[in-house]
Amino acid sequence: MTFMRRLGVVPSALVLLAASAAALAPGLLSPADPLRGDLTQRLLPPGTAHPFGTDELGRDVFTRVVHGSALSLQAAVIAVGVAVLAGSAIGLVAGTARGRLDGLVMRAVEVLLAVPSFLLILVVVAVLGPGTREVALAVGVSAAAVFSRVMRAEVVRVRGSGYVEAAAVCGTGRVTVLLTHVLPNAAGPVAALATLELGNAVLTVAAVSFLGFGAPPPAPEWGSLVAAGRPFLASAWWLTTVPGLVVAAVALAVNHLGHVLRTRSETR
């Protein structure tokens, strides 16, 4: 079975493509102002004029979801980038150094893994303050420990390979061996994990934003859109349901593609 024929890959790719287009060029998909409302159009259900309905201020929910994708997905991508860079650097140092330094670094990583990730995120956000970038940094810090363990394991595995030992015997410098042989061959599982972690980051960023630690209102982050619709659950279900479904669809699409990529990397 080829990659594109795997069940769910094409729908997942289409969902991710649509979300990426909304994040990169929201004005093309919905040129309306996401902050401007019309009280004569308040709380309208989904229809032809407003596919996702309108909120309590008459703002188009579709427009707000589209423009909110830029904030939410940007935060998720930044979070994964921070986690990959920080975690990979820590794992690379630990796997290369070995000995006492390796033990100290990995004990510190295990301490971070023992702390519930969401609790760690809330602590970091409390220190840095609310905001999209602060939430992204907090989510990235909480996920860095996972990447450090994977990177260290891959570095240790690759360092024991015959071609790495042969390069060292031939007199190749330690840094050169590390950068040209060890790091490229250890990066595959880390990249697959980053794809999986992106889906988790989308959910986590939305959850933190739901609690009110994201961008301040009226910024249309996905989590804050779900939170803002809670008082209207009985009369306007679409205010929470539609943004929630968008978050779930994007997270599931990314996780599915990440799972397929990771499976392919493990079977090679």
The predicted-structure confidence for 113-137, as pLDDT tens digits, reads as follows 888 888 889 999 988 888 888 999 9
- Domain extent listing, the chain: 10-16+61-267
Residue 8's region, left for phi above 0, alpha for psi from -120 to 50, else beta, is: left
Separation of alpha carbons 185 and 268, rounded Å: 12
Residue 19 exposure: Cα atoms within 13 Å on the Cβ side: 27
Q: Which two tokens stand for residue 165?
A: 């030992």
pLDDT tens digits for range 134-151: 999 999 999 999 999 998
pLDDT tens digits for range 165-209: 666 666 566 666 676 767 777 788 888 888 888 989 999 999 999
Average the pLDDT over 212-221 and give the result: 86
Looking at residue 162, its pLDDT comes to 63
Q: Which two tokens stand for residue 166?
A: 């042969």
Exposure class string for 201-224: b at 16+ Cβ within 10 A, else e: bbbbbbbbbbbebbbeeebbbbbb
Give the CATH fold of the 10-16+61-267 domain.
Answer: MetI-like fold (1.10.3720)
Q: Does the structure show a pLDDT above 60 at 212?
A: yes
Closest by Cα among 197, 81, 75 to 136? 75
At 35, give phi and psi (nearest 5°). -100, -10
CA angle 116, 145, 70 (to 5 degrees): 85
